[in-house]
Structure formats: structure tokens, C-alpha cells
Structure 1
Amino acid sequence: MTYPTKKLVPFYSAAYTRSYLTKSYERINIDQAKTKSFHTCYSFIYHLKHGNLYIDQAKKAPMDLKPMLLFYGLVQFLKAIILTKDPTYPENSQVLAHGVTTRKRKKSGFIFLDDEVKIQKNGLFTHALGKMFHMKHLANDKFKMRHLLQQLPEMESLFIQFNQQSFLFKGTFHNHSIQYDSSILDSYHMTVNRFEQYIKYKEQPWSKKGVTITEGKQLITIPYSKKPSPSSGFPFTFDDQGHPYLFRSREGYLGMPELLVHYLLLYNLSMICRYETEWWGELIHTFDGNDLPFITQYIDFTTSRIGALVVDTLLPDRTK
């Protein structure tokens, strides 16, 4: 699911962008949609353009600087996406803060995978969570880096190599359904009926007629009416080829949209590369500990993934 960001090029036309924003506002019943699209049009374009510039520079930059460039690229993209839902953004200075914090000085023996970020009450993260994904809060306000990385299927192979443990079930799309090995029921300690209720509880937008799960000899089949995607917001996660995954335990799923998983990871990595320069330099150049393979694989993956997620969010009907 690595879409070229050239699909965003039409937005560099003010006329196209005004029409797009007008339709976006009308869909969510915002008054004076056309007038407000005129006011937000150029802000949207510049945020999108700056996001692309940061990501392009990250592709060329050394590892020492990549996290900072990727984070600020994602910030610009998020601001553009928020403008499609909230024409008043930024309404006040509170929403301009990052909305996330982490320990500024790392303790001796610091391990990145065990480091945490904490969500603050106000800021870009919380505003995006509400405006883009209609979520007022998350179940937790602190998140470890290893748990955030485990939300991404591309990282699973590395966790298996280091920990000899898989944390995801891979599904396949087949005849308007998603199929999983029936052993997933044992992992969730559920019957078919209970698993069906669990999926329904998440109220996923892609299944308009509800979910009726059938159990074959070795497969669990979950029907869908509209093919889901990373922006669907239900308890699945996707690799960059669009394959759907479920976590092997309910506790593994953090309930966080993938764009915001990247926001938290890149926020912390950008803070480390700016303010923990000695630790960051030693990590990159001495190959000490287990953090570097995870960080390197994540940075390589997310450099192309961010653009794909932005395209999927802004143009969901054109990425299938």
C-alpha cells in the first residue's frame, strides 16, 4: 500500500482544493462551506507542500537527521488533514503544541524500546484524534515504544527474530470477506459468537450490514461491504501491501490509528536525535544493544509509509 505522493499533486491547484474542501465541509454539515473553503485553501496547500518537502529531504538525509525531518513532515500533513474537518484550525494556541511529552533527559542504561511517551490534554495529537478519528481519548495515556512498534506488521519479523514470538495473525481478502485461521479463537479465548460480538463492538464503518462470522474447518470468515483500509479505524492493522492483520491478543491492540502511532514514535525519535545527541550518536555508530535494528527498520519503512497513509486519508476512494 505504498502509494506515490504524486496522487497529491492535484491539490496544488487552488480551484481543485477549494472544491475538495467545500465537499468535505458539506459532508459534515459545516455552515458556509464554500466561503470557508476559500479561507482554508492556501493553508491546506502549504501544509501539504511542506509535508512533502520534509519527507523528500528525509529520504536524502543521513540517519542522524531523518527522525526530525520525518516528524515535522508528518506534523504538516496532519495539519492539512485536520483542515478538511475543522476550517477554524488553529482556533487557539493550545492546539499548536505537540500534545505529547517524554522524559527530556534519559537515565543511564536507557533502552529505546522501553521508553515511554505521555499524551497531554491539549495539543495537535489530541486535536487530530478528535477531529480526524472521532475519538475523545485513548484507553491509556502512556505508551511504550515497543508496544507502538508492535502495531506495525512490518516490524513483526524483527520481533520474532529477537523474541521468538509472533504477535499478529495475517488475514486474506477473499470474495468480499476477510479470512483468518480458526486458531485465532483459541488465542482470544472466544467462541465464534463471542468473537462476532467483539468485532461488532468496534463499530467498524466498512461493514454496513453488520458482521456475521462463519467458521469453516480451518477458517474464520468475516464479511465486509466496503473494503477496509488503514484509515478505517477498526481493530485491524495493515502492512504496506494492504494485507489485514489481527493481534494475537486483545491486549495487543492499542486502539490507535496508524498515523498517530507514527506521530508518537517519530516525536520521541526526533526528541532523542535533537537532545540526546551523545546517546543517538553512539547508537548509530557503535551498534551497541538491540535498539538500532528496530529503529533502522522502522525509519526505512515509515519514510515511504507516511505518504501512503496521507493519500489513503485524503483520497480513500482512489487508493483501492
Structure 2
Amino acid sequence: MRRLDPFLQYMQVTSHTRPFLHACYTDGKHSRVEHHAYNNAERFMYGLTLGGEYVSSASSTPLSVQPLLLYYGLNHYLKACLLTVDPGYPATAKVLAHGLSTRKRKKQQYRFLEDEIRIQPHGLFPHAAFHLFDFSAEKEKAAMDELLRPLPAMRDLYSLKKQKLECEGTAWPELLSYFAVLYNLSMLVRYEGDWWGEMEQMRDREDYVFIVHFLQSAMDQVPALISTWLKDRHLSVQ
């Protein structure tokens, strides 16, 4: 089991969480600051707790289960972060959807690094992108290679391919890249079991190395990136 990040652990105490949320809502000039800080404290802490438990559990589960645990762990983490800027989250059912979708696949020719996700107008992804990062993707589609290549944790692996590390367009915030790639991997596990099983058993595709390396990096990087975002938020409202 991985050690819990100290700051995330610090934030899972009511006496720390309520003043933090109170400061966040005061800074954002929200109404009913006391009410929201009191009511959202447990939701915030529960989101961090579940996020940590999912991610920690991924390290001791088979490869085929890891994408699901990591994806839903990041879901809980992001929802906790959203409570610091959007006290009424979720205001509508629309923001509860994934906010991403995948294309239909030709199984015999499918390559993960060439696969794409499509950004939807509503759901957790666009909501988090806007409220947490003030980010809007330049294109409605993104390839896995395009999202993986700029990640610091993937640079050493990409360097072995002797390809340039620069991507076209604007690089996404790391957490959003992890969210999108984990979403796609979780969809593969759920709906493309034949492809996943063959990849895992045969290990004869470049995809295998990149997927395993990415999942291993996500176990460390997702909590670290969430912790960094919350620390920055904490400092900004002091």
C-alpha cells in the first residue's frame, strides 16, 4: 500500500477542512459561506479518502483492474477539488457524466497510441477543465500519443523511440491528460476484453509497454498532482 500524501492527509481532518473551504468560498465571493463550508466538509474529505483508497488499491491488483481503480480514484479526487471552487457541485445531472467518449474500433488494426477520445460539451471532464484549470481544449479530439508524450513521467520511455517530445498545439494540464487516458483505458478493460487480454498475454505490441508504464506512473503522479493543486489553492486563499 502506498503512503498517503501528507497534505492530503492533513486535509482529511474536519478542523482543517472547514476553515479551508470557508476561505475558498469567501475568496470566491459565494453566498452562504458558513452553510456551504459546514455541509461540504465531509463530502470534500470523503472524496479525498475514496480517491486515495482507489489509487492505493490499484498497486496491489492485476493489470486489468488497475485502469478502473485509477480512473475512479481520480474521479473522486477531482470532485473533491471542485468543491473548493464550486460549492453547489453538482448543480445538474449533466456534470455527472464522464464528459468524454471513445470511437468505435477496428479490433484487428487497433493501436492504443493511435486511439482518440472525443471531448463532450457536458460532464466531469469539461467542468473540471474550466473550473480547476481555466482550460479549454483547442480541438474536440485528442490522441493517446498526443496526451502521453508531454507527461514528464513518460519522457524516458518516449526518448527510447528517438522521437521529438514536442506536441502540436497547447499541452493539457497533467491531471486532465491522466483523466482522459485513464478513461480510455477503463473503457478498453470494460468493453474490449478480448483485445486487452491478448495484449496482456502476448506482450508483443508497443502498446503494452506504454500502458504499463503509464499506469505505474499514475499511481504516484495522480495523488501528487492533486496534492499540488490543493496546496496552491490553499495558499491562494490565505
- The TM tier, using the shorter chain, reads over 0.9
The 2-side partners of 1:12 and 1:61 are apart by 25
Q: What corresponds to 1:59 in structure 2?
A: 59
Residues 11-54 of structure 1 show CA distances to partners (whole Å, capped at 9, x for unaligned) of: 22222211110011112221222221112111111111110110
CA contact (8 A) 1:52 1:73 kept: yes
* 1:126 maps to amino acid: P
**Shift of residue 6 of structure 1?**
3.0
Residues 69-102 of structure 1 show CA distances to partners (whole Å, capped at 9, x for unaligned) of: 0000000000000000000000010000000000
User: Structure 1 pair 32/259, CA: closer, same or farther in 2 (3 Å)?
Assistant: same
The 2-side partners of 1:126 and 1:317 are apart by 19
The 2-side partners of 1:15 and 1:154 are apart by 35
Q: Which has the higher strand share?
A: 1
Residues 81-128 of structure 1 show CA distances to partners (whole Å, capped at 9, x for unaligned) of: 000000000001000000000025543210000000000000000110
Match of 1:281 among 197, 214, 217: 197
TM-score in terms of structure 2 length: 0.92
The 2-side partners of 1:18 and 1:154 are apart by 34
Residues 179-238 of structure 1 show CA distances to partners (whole Å, capped at 9, x for unaligned) of: xxxxxxxxxxxxxxxxxxxxxxxxxxxxxxxxxxxxxxxxxxxxxxxxxxxxxxxxxxxx
Unpaired stretches in structure 2, ≥5 consecutive residues: none
CA contact (8 A) 2:20 2:234 kept: no
The 1-side partners of 2:233 and 2:95 are apart by 29
User: Structure 1 pair 317/11, CA: closer, same or farther in 2 (3 Å)?
Assistant: closer
**Shift of residue 317 of structure 1?**
8.1
The 2-side partners of 1:255 and 1:290 are apart by 23
Unpaired stretches in structure 1, ≥5 consecutive residues: 168-246
Task: Give 3-state SS (helix, strand or coil) of 2:156's partner.
Answer: helix
**Shift of residue 153 of structure 1?**
2.2
Q: What corresponds to 1:166 in structure 2?
A: 164
Task: Give 3-state SS (helix, strand or coil) of 2:160's partner.
Answer: helix
Q: How many aligned positions are there?
A: 234
CA contact (8 A) 2:18 2:41 kept: yes
TM-score in terms of structure 1 length: 0.69
**Shift of residue 265 of structure 1?**
0.3
Q: What corresponds to 1:138 in structure 2?
A: 137
CA contact (8 A) 1:104 1:275 kept: no
**Greater Rg by CA:** 1
Residues 258-317 of structure 1 show CA distances to partners (whole Å, capped at 9, x for unaligned) of: 110000000000110111111101111101221111111111111110000011011138
The aligned runs of 1:1-320 (5 Å cut-off) are 4-135=4-135, 137-162=136-161, 164-167=162-165, 247=166, 251-316=167-232
**Shift of residue 140 of structure 1?**
0.6
CA contact (8 A) 1:117 1:142 kept: yes
Q: Which has the higher helix share?
A: 2
Over 4 Å off, 4+ runs:
none
CA contact (8 A) 2:147 2:172 kept: no
CA contact (8 A) 1:67 1:269 kept: yes
The 2-side partners of 1:256 and 1:30 are apart by 28
* 1:154 maps to amino acid: A
Task: Give 3-state SS (helix, strand or coil) of 1:91's partner.
Answer: coil
**Shift of residue 318 of structure 1?**
8.6
- Identity value in percent: 36
The 1-side partners of 2:77 and 2:164 are apart by 32
* 1:23 maps to amino acid: A
**Shift of residue 59 of structure 1?**
1.1
User: Structure 1 pair 119/317, CA: closer, same or farther in 2 (3 Å)?
Assistant: closer
User: Structure 1 pair 165/287, CA: closer, same or farther in 2 (3 Å)?
Assistant: same
Q: What corresponds to 1:188 in structure 2?
A: none
Task: Give 3-state SS (helix, strand or coil) of 2:142's partner.
Answer: strand
